[in-house]
Chains A and B, each alone.
Chain A
Amino acid sequence: MAVTLDVNGKTLNVNSPPDTPLLWVLRDELGLTGTKYGCGVAQCGACTVLADGAPVRSCQLPISAIGPARITTIESLGGSHPLQQAWVKLDVPQCGYCQSGQIMSAVALLNSTPNPDDAAITGAMDGNICRCGAYQRIRAAIKEAAAAPAPAQVVAAAKA
């Protein structure tokens, strides 16, 4: 029984069993490996994707529970999203493994709060572990991106 998903603007039929977490469907069936496995229990945020613009932990989301929600993964951002550019400019990644999840959490934050203060950043990002401890640069990059003139179409694409 195939499940139909809306991933990055495409309607896809997937063959994985309905109880399979979205994370493993993205990674192993759809080849979207930018979304990472870190804990499997929604504790680390490495698997963060957007569902209708809100951050969700894909490791704990069975594909049967998604319904018509539009799923957005890191791959949909291209590379010119202001957050991605700020991440590169401030050289945020060390090992880099958590950064897809960090960026997706930050995308959701800026979509709802375009100019977040420190408390809002901490609140939105505290579910994402960076084992390398690049937290200062993550915070600075979010502020950098928030201050950057946003190319409207990029942000719109990420919201879609």
Chain B
Amino acid sequence: MSAATSTTSRRELLKAASGAGALLVFARPQAGRAAARFVGEIGPFVRIDADGAVTIGCHVGEMGQGVSTSLPMLIAEELDVPFERVSIQAMPLHLARNARGQARSYLGAGQSTAGGSNSVRTGFIPLRQAGARARRMILDAAAERWRVPADELTTRAGVVRHPSGRAATYGELAAEAAKRREPVGDMVLKTPDQFSIVGKPQRHLDADRIVRGEPLFGIDAEMPGMLHAVVARSPYLGGKVATLDEGHGLGLPGVVALVPIPAADAPAPPLEPRSTPLAAGVAVVATSFWAAMQARDALRITWSRGPGAAADESSARAYADTWARMETTPGDVVRKDGDFAGLPASRARTVSARYEAAMVAHACLEPPNAIVSVDPDGRRAQAILATQAPDAAAATIARVTGIDPVQIDVTLVRMGGGFGRKFDQDMVAEAAIVAKAVRRPVKLVWTREDDLQHDLYRPGACHILDAVVAPRGRILGWRHRLATHSRVAGAAGDPAPRLTEYYPDGFPAGHVPNMQVEYHLLPSAAPRGAWRAPGHVVNAFAIECFLDEIAVATNRDPVELRLDMIGAGGVHSYMYLPQMPRRSFDTRRYAAVIRRAAEASGWGKPLPAGRGRGFAAHFTFESYVAQVVEVTVAEGRLRIDRVTAAVDAGMIVNPNGARAQIEGSINDGLSAALGQAITVQGGQVEQRNFNDYEMLRMDGAARRIDVSFIESREPPTGLGEPGVPPLAPALANAIFAATGVRLRRTPMLPDLRPVLAARTRKIPRR
């Protein structure tokens, strides 16, 4: 199905379903490659045609994290079909009401929202169950045809066999299987040693279509009769339209309408108790994107400066006030073990350091966009969305249009990057407002300037760390005071701002006897959101750089210091958010990745002058990652020679995709740590495009990346995000090792440039 195909309406899907009963498997010839269906509690997921072709649906949005390969692998494994014969189809969102009357999709099949590095870990059992149920229906069909007990049958590679010698392919049995009732209850699943697909490297199944330039992405999709829209948004954070001269814009060729976008706190997505802000503005609707752009440029709008007009967040003063407040005013206590303040000063020494991080933008290469259509009678809506959160998108359209969420069809298409940006629904809300006004399908596209100026930015932060170290090197006390912009606004229904900003059970909690963590809110006029490994990236920068500083101050090896702190290790209870189930943080597994990264990187082996290695580790989304960055600082430049990563993410479903995630995380970490900052002056975001928002390019990327996965039979854990947090501290620690200069701010380039300028020695050719 090309992305340009119109949405398959829910009604058509149900019609198809009613013709076949409550089915998981269906064999009737399909017109084209119709969308897979949702039926029943576990999910639709599987279609087998009479010729044996297997189609598996993917209910989670693909943004490069590889779920459109890894999730179908789970289903195919239990279905017992050769993966080479499987084709994958993005599934439309099917909303149904649950017992509590809430509109939800894919009940019981893991979440359809792509976020929190969740898709494989929440889908690992339910999707295999879905595959096993489909297999069971095929077995039952064979048992009935041959009049034998189903438990005498075996399957292998899409063929059912009976000891009598009878055999049939899944395709031959599909029509009968499709008439059967979906089995109830848990199926017996394979044990890991029986896996033939899971754990074997698979190529990304859309790669051949990507390299042909096929229309896979949200921005490529179309609906018949579609109009194009761009929005002129207030350049002032929180500003509003004061006056609008419509004549200039409406008179231009191709312009159809101007639609006001009200300044509003957006519809709260039901999956997250927080609101997405919406910038006030005017949407220009035209017959083409370019016509809409020309009209937007011609509009004469004056803006009332909002409450953020005075915001000058890039000045040293804004942070200076916060630094002072952190030292003079007690913060919100996030964690307290023992008694840090009561530690005797005698004989112990104190190590202290401050770290700072700027806000950054997501800058997905595909800018935000959305296609929404509202039926003329206003009762139904359709959307084609490149979104991480289709449920929240449907809820947002419902809030904007008043349409019942179960009457909204959402077709998920590929995202040109997500990184947390497409978790929020501001672009969907805008498209829904416009579609409701013009009663025609509307594709709303953001320009790069729109994107950088109206992102939901990763919070900036100030960190002050103090450690009390005993004469023999043991860390007795650890105080961490931090201030961040917080990605939650603190509005009604939101968690407390600190909860998304510091995870109180992360390392070194439990491994220092006296620990105190205090949180302060850092004010900002800019909206904030989730950026790949939210909270973790900046916290790991502060904590893991500080551990390196303690090691240097106490003349110890940074790897040994960490291993000594862990000691024998053990399992800690780890809280993400209070309403989420607690997870386990096993510091023995943490120690194992630390050791593995050190070994694989040649840690401790001497390097020539101007080169250095830095170490860092972090635990998040239940995964353990340690990294060693090796750099050369010479010839006036920084070269990232090598990054070695050791990863324990439990069982690896697709080693190829997993490796790609860690490689990409490393370069993403480099990109954000070196060059990127969003700053606010006079109530406006200063950065406009890639000329003033510096993205990593090939020349700056790591020259070599080695990824080592710990062999494991534990359930799979997160992979899309955990590779990012260790990079920035490992980089700063490596630069220190190479130069003796400690960089304590991200982005590092402003502080790094004078260091590079002073080091012009030629790199010796190896």
Contact = CB atoms under 8 A, between A and B. Distances in A.
A87 B210 CA distance: 10
Contact of A33 (B206, B220, B697): B220
A79 B352 CA distance: 57
Interface string B362-380: 0111110000000000000
B448 A40 contact: yes
A44 B697 CA distance: 9
B151 interface: no
Contact of A28 (B290, B366, B418, B689): B290
Contacts of B288: 16, 24, 28-29
A127 B663 CA distance: 20
28 contacts: A24-B289, A28-B288, A33-B220, A34-B212, A36-B219, A37-B219, A38-B448, A39-B690, A74-B212, A77-B212, A78-B212, A83-B211, A84-B211, A84-B212, A87-B211, A94-B65, A95-B416, A96-B206, A100-B211, A100-B213, A125-B698, A129-B697, A130-B365, A133-B668, A133-B671, A135-B696, A135-B698, A137-B663
B365 A38 contact: yes
A21 B291 CA distance: 11
Q: Main SS of the interface on chain B?
A: loop
Interface centre among A36, A44, A91, A132 (most CB of B within 10 A): A132
A98 interface: yes
Contacts of A126: 697-699
The 3 closest A-B pairs by CB, nearest first: A34-B213, A133-B667, A97-B416
A30 B532 CA distance: 36
Secondary structure call for the A interface: loop
A92 B207 contact: yes
Nearest to B369: A37
A91 B656 contact: yes
Contacts of A35: 213
A85 B312 CA distance: 50
B695 A93 contact: no
Given A38-B448, A132-B664, 12 more contacts: A32-B213, A35-B213, A37-B367, A39-B689, A40-B448, A43-B691, A91-B660, A99-B210, A122-B699, A129-B365, A133-B668, A135-B702
A41 B691 contact: yes
Contacts of A21: 290
Contacts of B665: 133
A20 interface: yes
Range of interface residues on A (Cβ < 8 Å): 35 or more
A40 B210 contact: no
B447 interface: yes
Query: In this complex, which of A75, A78, A128, A134 has the most chain B Cβ atoms within 10 angstroms of its Cβ?
Result: A134
A41 B691 CA distance: 9
Contact of A93 (B207, B215, B290, B705): B207
A46 interface: yes
A98 B217 CA distance: 11
B594 interface: no
Contacts of A38: 365-367, 448
